[in-house]
Amino acid sequence: MSDALDVLDQVGKWKNSGKGVAVATVITTWGSSPRPVGSQLGVDDSGAMVGSVSGGCIEGAVVKEALAAIADGKPRLLDFGVTDEQAWDVGLACGGKVQVFVEKVS
């Protein structure tokens, strides 16, 4: 749990320094997934990241949505399947799915 708060510490610092910031949170997982529910990724308006919502497979797509959320202020719900191939890369025996919620920090 302290991991998640370490992410929010950095998010708060970015926000206080005047940056646009979004937070992505793993809200549901099915099967094997690289990061547990509650894992968070903070993104600033330059695309800088803190934390993680996967083993690296979906961060690119999440950052893109995070930048869009910073721009229009609307929250987003994203669904990702972890392909078996990717799952093997992170040492998982089966594919999993994750749902990620992305919201702007106001």
Partner 1 sequence: MKTETIAALQQARTKRTAVTLATRLSDAAETLIYIDKAEGAMAGDATLVSAARRAMAMGRSETIDFGDQKIFLNVYVPPPRLIVVGAVHIAQTLAPMATMLDFDVTVVDPRGAWATSARFPGVKVIQDWADEAFQAMGLDVSTAVVTLTHDPKLDDPALESALKSDVFYIGALGSRKTHARRKERLAEVGITDEMFARVHGPVGLNIGAKSPAEIAVSILGQIVEVRACRLEALAGPKVVAA
Residues at the interface with partner 1 (CB under 8 A): 1-2, 4-5, 8-9, 11-12, 15-16, 23, 25, 27-28, 37-38, 75, 77, 99, 101, 103-106
Minimum distance of partner 1 from residue 88's CB (angstroms): 27
Would you state the structure tokens that stand for residue 89, as one six-digit string? 């890369």
Minimum distance of partner 1 from residue 73's CB (angstroms): 9
SS (H, E, C) 66-77: HHHHHHHCCCEE
Query: Do residues 49 and 39 make contact, with C-beta atoms less than 8 angstroms apart?
Result: no
**57 or 105, CB closer to partner 1?**
105
**31 or 89, CB closer to partner 1?**
31
Least Cα distance to 83 among 45, 47, 33 occurs for 33
Query: Do residues 58 and 100 make contact, with C-beta atoms less than 8 angstroms apart?
Result: yes
Minimum distance of partner 1 from residue 89's CB (angstroms): 26
Q: Residue 4: count other Cβ atoms within 10 Å of its Cβ.
A: 16
Minimum distance of partner 1 from residue 66's CB (angstroms): 12
**3 or 89, CB closer to partner 1?**
3
